[in-house]
Amino acid sequence: MALRNIRTEGDPILGKISKPILEMTEKTKILIEDMLETMYHANGVGLAAVQAGVLKRVVVIDVSEEGNSPIILINPEIIDKSGSQTGDEGCLSVPGKSGVVTRAMKVKVKAFDENMKVFELEGEGLLARAIQHEVDHLDGILYTSKVEGKLNETED
């Protein structure tokens, strides 16, 4: 496994649309391992492949306190949304900043796992926020375009 360089705001790749994964390859398996390592190293709760400079529809998320519950979403598609939550959001591609974004409180996502088996996952609260944030990345959307009010400076 290896750490990947995280692309930051201003890098044009972050505005591009990622392509679906058609079959699992060794290269994509390594990408997923590297994305997990990079996310944990940066103390993030989610990372999309485009943030590592790869335009593939792959997302990793871990919203657990212990950082021991990785979720891998390949070709994720949000198929149901309900409720609403308004709260602070940040992004590893926008270091040192945070902003208030309104998202659905609950989502249902359909995705493929590392074996390209389809599954559905329901998320609520922070998990739902992370899923929506990461799926936006795959469509070239940064949370900064959805911030209510202005971006705030954070400690680190």
Work out whether 91 is an interface residue with Ni ion (CB under 5 A): yes
Q: Residue of minimal CB distance from Ni ion?
A: 91
Give strand pairing partners of 103.
85
Closest contact distance (angstroms) between CB of 19 and Ni ion is 19
Structure tokens at 86: 């308004």
User: For residues 11 and 24, which CB has a smaller minimum distance to Ni ion in the complex?
Assistant: 11
The set of catalytic residues is: 134
Side-by-side strand order, sheet with 148-153: 85-89, 97-103, 148-153
For residue 35, give the nearest of 48, 24, 22 by alpha carbon: 48
Please choose, out of 24-32, 71-79, 84-92, 98-106, the segment that lies near Ni ion by the rule CB under 5 A: 84-92
Closest contact distance (angstroms) between CB of 11 and Ni ion is 13
User: For residues 75 and 132, which CB has a smaller minimum distance to Ni ion in the complex?
Assistant: 132
Name the CA dihedral angle for 81, 92, 4, 52, rounded to a multiple of 10 degrees.
Answer: 50
Closest contact distance (angstroms) between CB of 137 and Ni ion is 6
Distance CA(14)–CA(32), nearest Å, equals 18
Number of residues binding to Ni ion, judged by CB under 5 A = 1
Q: Which residues bind Ni ion (CB under 5 A)?
A: 91
